[in-house]
Amino acid sequence: MASLKLPELVPSPTQDSERLRKAFQGFGTDERALILVLGHRNAQQRKEIAETYKQLYNESLIDRLHSELSGDFRNAIILWTYEPPERHARLANSALKAKRKGIKQLQVLVEITCASNPNHLVAVRQAYCSLFDSSLEEDIIANVAAPLKKLLVSLVSSYRYDKVAVNLEVAKSEASKLHEAINNKKLDDDHIVWTLSTRNLFQLRETFACYKNLYGNTLEQGIKSCGNGDLETLLQLVILCIDSPEKHFAKVIRDSIVGFGTDEDSLNRAIVTRAEVDLLKVRFEYSNMFKCSLDDDVIGDTSGDYKDFLMTLLGRGPEGE
C-alpha cells in the first residue's frame, strides 16, 4: 500500500521538465515547484522526466538538483529522483564503503534482498556493476568480515520464487533443522544460510510459524538466546524483513527520530524507498508499535522544504499539479 499520491491528470514529461527548468531559473530556486512535480510522480514518470530534461536542456536533472539545493532536502529529493535500482545500488555501495560497517550500515543489504521482489534485486545488482565496475558480491567479500559476509553474499546472490507456494511438511522439517542449529549455537550453519536466502517468502513465513508452534518461542527469540553479536543481530533483521517488512521500516523511522539528533540518512532511506511500496502499512505499524503518529513525529523532527517533501511522500503534503 503505497503512500505516493499522483494527480488525476499527469502532465507530459516535457511539461514537467519545463516547469522544473523554470523552478531552477531566476533569483533563487522554487523548491515548492520541485516538490509539487517530483513528489507526485511515480518511478516510471520520474525516469521519463529525467530523460526528457536531459534531451531538452543538455544537462542532468540530478546534477542540477545537486547544484541548486543543499542539506537534507537535497539529499532526500535526489535519492527519490534516482531510478529505484540505481538508488539501492548507491545505498549499498555507501554502506560497503563506510569506515564503520556495523549492522546499522549493512541493514540496507538486508532490505534489498528480503524486503524487495527478486526482479528488483537483479536490477540492483546490474546497476551496481554498471556504476561501480565491480559486483555487489565482490564488494561484500572485500569489505565485510566473516561470518556476516557468508550470509550477505548468499542473500544477494539468490533469486527467490515470488509466487505463493507453501509446503507444510518442508516448513516443519526446516524448522526442526533451524532449531537444531540454534541449540548447537551454529548460526553460520549452511542450512540456516541456505534456508533464509533461497526459500520464497511465503514458505519462510510458514517455517517461522511452525518453529513457534513446535518450540514455543519465535525463531528470532531462539537466535537472540545465542548471544548479542553482529551475526545474531543480522539474522534477526533478516527474519523481520521477511516476516514483516513494514514493522522493520517502522522501527528504522523510529530509531532515526528518537534520541539526540535525527538520523536523516536512515529517515530518508525508509520513507523514500517505501513510498511506492508499503508506506501506508508502515504508518499503521508505527502507530501500533509506538502508540504515536508517524506523521507527527516526522513533522516534529524536521523542518522547511525537507519536512514538506517527506510529508508529500507520506501522502500528507501539498497536492500535485
Q: What is the CA radius of gyration of the chain?
A: 21
Residues in the chain: 321
- Phi-psi bin for 315: left (phi > 0), alpha (psi -120 to 50), beta? left
Helices then strands, counting H and E runs in the chain, come out as: 20, 0
**What is the mean pLDDT of the segment spanning 84-90?**
98
Give dist(CA 36, CA 20) in Å, integer. 10
* pLDDT tens-place string over residues 235-266: 999 999 999 999 999 999 999 999 888 999 99
d(CA 147, CA 268): 29
Check whether 281 has a pLDDT greater than 60: yes
Read out DSSP for 112-132? HHHSS-HHHHHHHHHHHHHHH
pLDDT over 80 at 165, yes or no: yes
Give the pLDDT mean for 92-121.
Answer: 95
pLDDT number for residue 118? 96
Packing angle, helices 148-157 and 190-198, rounded to 10: 30
pLDDT of residue 26: 78
Cell of 74: 537535497
The CA–CA distances, whole Å, from 140 to 104, 108, 286 equal 15, 12, 31
Write out the DSSP string of 189-232: -HHHHHHHHHS-HHHHHHHHHHHHHHHSS-HHHHHHTT-SSHHH
DSSP letter assigned to residue 135 = -
Average pLDDT over residues 91-120: 95
pTM, two decimals, is 0.96
